[in-house]
Amino acid sequence: MRYHAPAADRNKGPILEVLERTLPADAYVLELASGSGQHALHFSRHLPGVRWQPSDSSPEAIASIADYRRDADPQRFLEPILLDAS
């Protein structure tokens, strides 16, 4: 099931602007608590040299992220991992 978070739609542009200025072109990013997966999809599409590793502690979120990944380049939007960083 693909989740949708309206806040992710609202803030993905401003976050991307910061990432474009600060991330190395060939960065490997571990995103903690990726939630729906919307950011992972957006950033992997707009940061071509970056590999994006989404993670979450919720199996439901992992399923949503995996669904978003179907619309992405699997070399840049990596398979989500179940990770509890608490």
What are the structural domain ranges in the chain?
Answer: 30-86
State the Cα–Cα distance between residues 15 and 43, nearest whole angstrom: 9
pTM, whole model, 2 decimals?
0.94
**pLDDT for 12-61, tens place per residue?**
999 999 999 999 999 999 999 999 999 999 999 999 999 999 999 999 99
Helices 38-46 and 6-22 pack at an angle, to 10 degrees, of 40
68: Cα within 13 Å, side-chain hemisphere: 28
Q: How much is the pLDDT for 77?
A: 99
Query: Can you point out the beta strands (E) in the chain?
Result: 28-31, 51-56, 81-82
Q: Alpha-carbon torsion 28, 32, 34, 39, what sign?
A: negative
